[in-house]
Amino acid sequence: MATSSRAASPAAGLALVPALLGLVRFAHTVFALPFALAGALLAGMAWPPAATLGWIVLAMVGARSLAMALNRLVDARIDAMNPRTAGREIPAGRLTRGQVWAFSAASLAVLLLAVSRLPELTWYLWPIPVALFVLYPYAKRFTWACHLVLGVTIGIAPVGGWIAVTGELAAAPLLLGLGVACWIAGFDVIYALLDLDFDRANGIRSIPARFGPARALWITRALHLAAVALLAAGGAAAGAGWVYQLGVALCAAVLVYENLHVDPADQRRIQAAFGTANMVISLTYITFVILAVAAS
């Protein structure tokens, strides 16, 4: 029997991998990682050393995994109540709270290892994103501006990438970070349309629940307009040329499509606007940042 238990243990551990990947929604890393890499590339309009890029990627993986794990832990009770989210890993029983806490600790360790290998300023600043990871899931319990909290949480990605290369802060990464924050907040407002009725019935704060779908979409449009302007300004401040600005223009075109395509009454359009359009924006942006660096 002891031999059987020891043989089953590795298999049980491997069985957790799909559940953990589902927990962190690994595919959605594309929303944040390209902007951290963009900050690193724009910092000197050149490719940083491979080791630096590697530690940046590792830091982002650790940070995002920690953020998603904490979000699922804090929201487990709400997720269980909501038919749309009841199938998530903790409410569905595929992962226990203890397992997710252990995963959170491992993710934090990965983040700390990565920032310890980057410029000293990154070590002093790491508590800021971690504090935001804790704040965000609670924000919707007391403010409809929770989308802005999420925006800021992810908007620090290009700032972190810049500091990881230069060891210092500047105007350009702050503009880029604000641009990403507005973009993320805008599409999170769209995503919140999926839970409009549930949120209103259970006292969950959101812009759609507070202002209604029509006004919420106008707020999204304003945020996305600001995002385009800030990304363009951040690139100019970093010394990026016309190739970069062409990429921002293409991202703006996708945002126009996203905002015209979304329909509060059609969940498929909401999902398409949230998922497909935003993935296209992330990949388009980093592609043109790379091309701009190559052209400089």
Q: How many domains does the chain have?
A: 1
Does residue 123 lie within any of the structural domains?
Answer: yes
CA dist., res. 128 & res. 114, Å (int): 16
pLDDT digits (tens, 9 = 90+) for 252-264: 999 998 888 888 8
pLDDT of residue 199: 95
Nearest to 234 by CA among 184, 179, 281: 179
Distance CA 107, CA 116 (A): 14
Flag whether 272 is in a domain.
yes
Q: What mean pLDDT is predicted for residues 111-135?
A: 95
Rounded Cα–Cα distance for residues 159 and 136 (Å) = 19
Q: Calculate the alpha carbon distances from 107 to 92, 114, 120 in Å.
A: 22, 11, 20
The whole domain housing 74 covers: 15-295
| Whole-number Å distance between alpha carbons of 135 and 144 | 14
Tell whether the model's pLDDT for residue 7 goes beyond 60: no
pLDDT tier, 10 (very low <50, low <70, confident <90, very high otherwise) = low
Residue 111, pLDDT > 70, answer yes
Give the model's confidence band at 81: pLDDT under 50 very low, under 70 low, under 90 confident, else very high.
Answer: very high
Convert the pLDDT of each residue in 160-169 to its tens digit. 999 999 999 9
Query: Is pLDDT above 70 for 4?
Result: no
Which has the closest alpha carbon to 215: 207, 205, 226? Answer: 207
Q: How high is the pLDDT of residue 264?
A: 81
- pLDDT, greater one: 88 or 15: 88
Q: What is the DSSP string of 68-116?
A: HHHHHHHTHHHHHHSTTTTTSHHHHTSS-HHHHHHHHHHHHHHHHHHHH
DSSP state of 239: T
Q: Average pLDDT over the chain, rounded to whole?
A: 90
Looking at residue 96, its pLDDT comes to: 92
pLDDT at 15: 67
72: which 2 tokens?
Answer: 């699922």
Residue 197: predicted pLDDT: 94
Give the pLDDT band of residue 284 (cuts 50, 70, 90).
Answer: very high
pLDDT tens digits along 200-250: 999 999 999 999 999 999 999 999 999 999 999 999 999 999 999 999 999
pTM of the model: 0.90
CA separation for the pair 18, 23 (Å, rounded) = 8
Confidence class for position 30, pLDDT limits 50, 70, 90: low
User: Which pLDDT tens digit goes with each residue over 118-127?
Assistant: 999 999 999 9
Proportion of the chain above pLDDT 70, given as a percent: 92
Provide CB contacts within 8 A for 191, sequence distance 6+.
270, 274
Helix 127-139 to helix 146-166 angle (10° resolution) is: 170
CATH number at 35 reads: 1.10.357.140
Is the residue at 23 inside a domain? yes
pLDDT at residue 172 tops 80: yes
| Residue 7 forms part of a structural domain | no
- CB atoms under 10 Å from CB of 131, counted, come to 11
Question: Rounded mean pLDDT of 25-39?
Answer: 78
Identify whether 198 is part of a domain: yes
Report the 10 Å Cβ neighbour count for 72. 25
The C-alpha atoms of residue 266 and residue 241 are separated, in whole angstroms, by: 39
Evaluate whether residue 10 is within a structural domain. no
Q: How far apart are CA 94 and CA 35, in angstroms?
A: 32
